[in-house]
Structure 1
Amino acid sequence: MAKPNKKGPSKTVDIFCSACKAPLYKYRKGGKGALVKCFIERITQDHTLTPCICPNCERPFARPATIRGAPAYKMIGGKVTFK
């Protein structure tokens, strides 16, 4: 299967914890759909101290995964919001 485009889209979104509204990532997202996964190579700013754990409320919001041969974070439904 093909790997995701490394450069990716130019549009960035801010990802927040849905419980405490703490900023988690700035991410280059493509498309208009829901945020299901984050490819690690497309994260431009990382505000987390531990991967997949909110730095403020310390709740897990994602799980590490390999998607299409690239490392990614698979988001847990309802744990994150983005603008």
Structure 2
Amino acid sequence: MTVGKISVSLEEPLLDFLSHYQETHRVRSKSEVIAQALTLLRERELETQYAEALAEWRANGEGDLWESVIADGLSEGSDAAR
């Protein structure tokens, strides 16, 4: 993995929190704490995007189309339908 280097300026309360979090959670470096925080932000962004895509999928009727074919060829009594 390629690693880049940046310079970040933070207000004192955030710097204090960063140091406290690193110490109490035994994280190797402040960079790792920031990487963990960015990973959480990326996951939250993806959750929002997935929720929006699902809402759009349902709103335009694609969900109804899928429901109409989801069990094609399967009867309720077959093992594959379970």
More helix by share: 2
More strand by share: 1
TM-score norm. by structure 1 comes to 0.23
Q: Which has the larger radius of gyration?
A: 2
Pick 1 or 2: higher relative contact order, CA cutoff 8 A, min separation 6. Answer: 1
